[in-house]
Amino acid sequence: MLSPHYASCIQACSACAIACETCAAACLAEPDLQMMRACIQLDRDCADMCRLAEALMLRNSPLAEEFCRLCAKACQACAEECAKHAHDHCQQCAQACQRCAGECLAMAA
């Protein structure tokens, strides 16, 4: 059902939004909460960006490509922060963000 041009980027955004929501909720329950402030903040922004990127691509919005270029920055920032933390949810989120950043850049190229 998905446009072939966008399909892999849409899937990456969907997976990244799920990973970021999961990571934010898990961070909020960690004992070392003080260290997770930046992670929670970046997770939230990245989840929201990925959800809107996904919607704009599904709508064939004229803004989709430029939006994905900005979404890649949100993913990259979140990947860098998550990679610093050993928690499984952070490591998995870092991977989803890294992959999504790559898909968004390729899509916007």
> Considering the rule CB under 8 A, would residue 83 count as an interface residue with a copy of itself?
no
Q: What count of residues does the chain have?
A: 109
How many whole angstroms separate alpha carbon 91 and alpha carbon 102?
Answer: 17
CA-atom Rg of the chain in angstroms = 13
> Considering the rule CB under 8 A, would residue 47 count as an interface residue with a copy of itself?
yes
How many whole angstroms separate alpha carbon 19 and alpha carbon 93?
Answer: 5
- Using CA atoms, how far residue 17 sits from 12, 31, 34, 83, in Å, is 9, 24, 23, 17
> Considering the rule CB under 8 A, would residue 14 count as an interface residue with a copy of itself?
yes
Among 16, 50, 56, 104, binds a copy of itself (CB under 8 A): 56
Task: Report residue 88 CA to chain centroid gap.
Answer: 16
x-or-dash string of contact with a copy of itself, 26-45, rule CB under 8 A: --xx---xx--x--xx--xx
Cβ nearer to a copy of itself, comparing 39 with 109 = 39
In the complex, which residues of this chain contact a copy of itself (CB under 8 A)?
1-2, 10, 14, 18-19, 21-22, 24-25, 28-29, 33-34, 37, 40-41, 44-45, 47-49, 51-52, 54-56, 58-63, 66-67, 70, 73-74, 77, 89, 92
